[in-house]
Amino acid sequence: MGRPPDPARRERTLALATDYVLVHGLAGLSLRPLAAALDTSPRMLLYDFGSKQELVAAILGEARRRGAARMAEHMPAEVCSGSVHDRLRRVWAWISADDRAPYVRLFFEVHADGLVRPEGHPHPDEALTDWFNAFGAAFRDVAAGPDDPVTPTLIMAVIRGLLFDLTTTDDRARVDHALDRFADLLKPGAPG
């Protein structure tokens, strides 16, 4: 009879594996280098997670949990007050901060992989739900009504596009200026 699974070891391994993926990404992820970096073996990774696919799913779940916790911790109080421009700038400053870059890169990597291999990503919308709800609450005053899904969708899409631009070009001045222009368009009474 084999040794029973150790949940504490699995959680430690998951935390370290998530840290590893946030630095190195998922592309080309191989169990052997991952295990070496975590000071374990590929066999132990498979023992703890069942398969590479289950390990990757657990890592993505942990990264999403961390990101949602950070969003809940930092965004609500400061985002829901002030002008539309001030709120959008605070959201942007938080989401585009250097310490968020690993999460942003992983977000885009997972979504790009999901376009190519949708079978590996059965719930692609889960990562967007937290953003959608936060933006809906923070920008309710510029929405077309209480049940308006378009405004948070537009805000989320623009921020996601600007994040992609910033991640690929590192041209913060231009991207920040584009965000300011977008904020002007959201002001009540702005032409649109």
* DSSP line for 35-50: HHHTTS-HHHHHHHHS
Q: What are phi and psi of 120, to 5 degrees?
A: -85, -5
pLDDT of residue 37: 94
149 compared with 59, residue with greater pLDDT: 59
Q: Tell me the one-letter amino acid at 189.
A: G
CATH class, 1-62 region: mainly alpha
Token reading at 21:
């993926």
Per-residue pLDDT of 97-119, as tens digits, reads 888 899 888 888 888 877 787 77
Q: Residue 163: name the closest of 35, 171, 118, 68 by CA.
A: 171
The proportion of the chain whose per-residue pLDDT surpasses 70, expressed as a percent, equals: 84
Contact predicate 156/97, CB 8 Å: no
Q: Residues 141, 79, 137, CA angle at the centre, nearest 5°?
A: 45
Per-residue pLDDT of 12-30, as tens digits, reads 999 999 999 999 988 888 9
Q: Residue 96: name the closest of 180, 182, 18, 172 by CA.
A: 172
Q: Residue 61: name the closest of 106, 116, 119 by CA.
A: 106
- Taking 80 as the threshold, does the pLDDT of residue 59 lie above it? yes
Sign of the dihedral through C-alpha 51, 30, 27, 69:
positive
pLDDT of residue 79: 63
**pTM score > 0.85 for this model?**
no
Which SS3 state, helix, strand or coil, does residue 1 take?
Answer: coil
Which band of pLDDT confidence, cut at 50, 70 and 90, is reported for residue 144?
confident
Give CA–CA dist 122/112, Å, rounded. 14
Give CA–CA dist 95/105, Å, rounded. 12
Q: Which residues contact 37 (CB under 8 A, 6 or more apart)?
A: 16, 20
